Structure 1
Amino acid sequence: MNLIENAVKYATPPTVRLHLTSGRTEILICDEGPGLPEEALEQAFAPYHRLETSRNRASGGVGLGLTAARSIIRAHGGEVWLSNRPTGGLQARVELPATQPDAHGR
């Protein structure tokens, strides 16, 4: 949710795509906003690092959303990356291991 909420808050309503491949699930969240400076793509995941520097609570949190999102994704055996799209905007790519349903379909 954090990745989608960030796109809505700071860019445009995103496009969300889901791709299932052999053993992996890939989620792409793409917006058409301004993107990020290259050096900020990894920094965005640092605790308390806010790219939007206003202290106004209406415009943003304390800088833990992406940190928490990455921790949760990694705890499930996945990874998340941010990249600037060639056509403009930002892309968040999440890869997770695909799980097989158990005997009860769960």
Structure 2
Amino acid sequence: MDYSLMNTAENTSQDVQKGIYETVREAITNGIKHGHARDFHIDISVHDNKLLVKVKDNGEGCADIKKSHGLRGMEDRIHSLNGKIQFVSSKGNGFAVEAEIPFETSVE
């Protein structure tokens, strides 16, 4: 597993941190369960006041993404944080989850 995390991403609210954690966890679970992935690249960064979360796997991928309970849960979670999310895949080329959340530092 490969990941990168900018220090500033840790300075956001606990709700956003929890949303990121649950989204990454679900992306990994789905990648293993449905795509038989063995390798994941996780990138969490801040750019232009947006927290960017990307999880890409090397699984089987799919030509037609069907939004099951897990994908809908990720959408609901990110949308509740006023963010956007997209799923990218093609047969034989893995699966990627890309989320963007407005970034505000927390002083908790």
Residue type matched to 1:5 in 2? T
- Identify unmatched segments of 5+ residues in structure 1: 46-62
- Identify unmatched segments of 5+ residues in structure 2: 1-24
Question: Bigger radius of gyration, 1 or 2?
Answer: 1
**Structure-2 separation of matches of 1:14 and 1:100:** 27
- Once the two structures are superposed, what CA deviation does each residue of 1:7-52 show, in whole Å capped at 9, x if it has no partner? 1223224111112102101111011112110xx23xx22xxxxxxx
Residue 45 (structure 2) aligns with? 19
**Structure 1 segments of 4+ aligned residues over 6 angstroms from their partners:** none
Residue 34 (structure 1) aligns with? 60
Residue type matched to 1:25 in 2? L
Identical positions, percent: 17
RMSD, matched Cα: 1.9
Aligned pair count reads 81
The answer to which structure has the higher helix fraction is 2
Structure 2 length-normalised TM: 0.65
Residues 8-87 of structure 1 correspond to what in structure 2 (within 5 A)?
8-9=32-33, 10=35, 11-37=37-63, 40-41=64-65, 44-45=66-67, 63-84=68-89
Residue 4 (structure 1) aligns with? 28
The answer to which structure has the higher strand fraction is 2
